[in-house]
Structure 1
Amino acid sequence: MKKFFVGLIFGLLISICNIAYASETIKAILFPVKYTFNGQERALPSNYKTLNIDGDTYVPTRFLVDNMGSNIAYDESDKTINVQFPSFLEVKSDVHSNKENDIFNLFLFSEKASYKKNEFMNIRADLRYKGDSNLALEYSGKFMGFYIEDQKGNRSDLGGTLALFPLTVKPGDEYHRIFPQWLQQQYNFDYHNPDNKINDTRLLPTNLPAGTYKIGVEARYILNHAYQDTKTLRTEIEITIEN
């Protein structure tokens, strides 16, 4: 009888463990799909997977957040995923600057002059064409690009390509760009990556260290490809990151 009870208890324990194990597992199926953001297709990196679980689609959070111009970070201390995104409400800019030449007027706006360390940096740039007739030009990589510069003169941007792209601007044309939050990770990769041990920017902090920085935007274009008449229009603001 004693052996019977021991065997019964052991059997119950196995059953309970199996039930607990089953409740913590799911059946997922790889879901090969394409993604478009505002009509532009974005390829899913090879290290990411899309899953179908009980008819619902599960997408890597970072992939979505990065392609929507937002920011994401994981806090290991309290197991929290922090997502930061711009406000869709009307935002008053406390800090702004602008520069112009005979062709364009470049504006840079920031919601605040000082941001907390984990706060979304709501910064945008506008480029307005001043001419009254069509203008053909070319640009390399990005027509408008942001950069970060610290008090030591260290500067970081998202780089560009050597390829040239044609562009025709028309009277009344305006170009708008939101500050890319992942540029902060690029800065950390460039200047806060001891011994270059980290090769993937996604493994670095998604926010700037406390300090004062210049946030700038450049419009770079070529008016006459034959003579490489490259023009750069630049403006910047100063912001502070608090702990």
Structure 2
Amino acid sequence: MKKYMLGLGCGLLLAGSSVAIASDTIQALLFPASFEINGSQVKMDSDYQILNVDGHAYVPIRFVAENLGATIDYDAESQKIVVKNKPLDIKDPDYAKISVGNLILTKAGNQTKVTGQLEFEGVGNSLNMVGAGLSFYNEDNQKIGEAVISGNNFGVDPQTFVTKGEGDFKNYDAVYLHIGAINHRIMIDAPTMLYRNSSYRFTLAIPSSWEEKYEVVEQKDEESERNNFLFINQANKAFGGVIFSISIWSKGDWLATGATTKGIGQVYKLGEDADHVFLLFPPGDVEYNPNDEKLTAEFHAMVDQISEIRTSFKFE
């Protein structure tokens, strides 16, 4: 894959060259050129070559993508080259300074290959050990795969990692990060407390840090006959304060309108029993006091815990 070449269509006219093109082959000339990327001279590995094809420069896309800070991989099943270069937005809510993102998943035999990036903010160097796990879930809130991240060269600049997990979980719906170790120090999971819903016999693991900071309000929609349980941040209650809500729908209701609902906004299926479908809705509006930094921070810190709460859903 390292030598896989793809023309970027740079449109650089190269004088003094000629190319003969057949129906399914090309003839190319080596084109000696150096690279300056974002103001810095970058030396290209000797394994790579730049080609002149019909007056256009064809450069190694992996070399360019990685030097622009992106992840890249080739999906043989779809015959597609995938490049990702977005902000890293996957976090363990207990360790907010470590971020993961730009994940590319491809099939590797009976495994799934995961290429991504990890960034460790607030450290003084780029030689930090991080041990972590990625858990992948389908749209029915079932875990379908896991992959381990381990390395000693993580720091303030995003570093690319490659790992694999058993099975096929390319088409995941949600992914969660769990930090297990930092610089060879084992991280202890944050304590939780159990929320039990006796009406519908399900439980959630709520962070212990929420103690005396939240309340649950039950609302019934008489028209749709849906029951809703609103988890509210008490400090922001005057502004709504809804961190998330769990809505219980009939199976018929979900089959009839679920697809439309998912197309409108975020909704996560938690599970289902014989008669009902259990859904989690994140906050859909500003539910906190935007003029109070402390209250804003408290609300967002609680919202960041939704992913772990979601995966803790169980029937009794």
TM over 0.5: no
Tell me the TM-score normalized by structure 2.
Answer: 0.33
Structure with the higher fraction of residues in helix conformation? 1
Tell me the TM-score normalized by structure 1.
Answer: 0.41
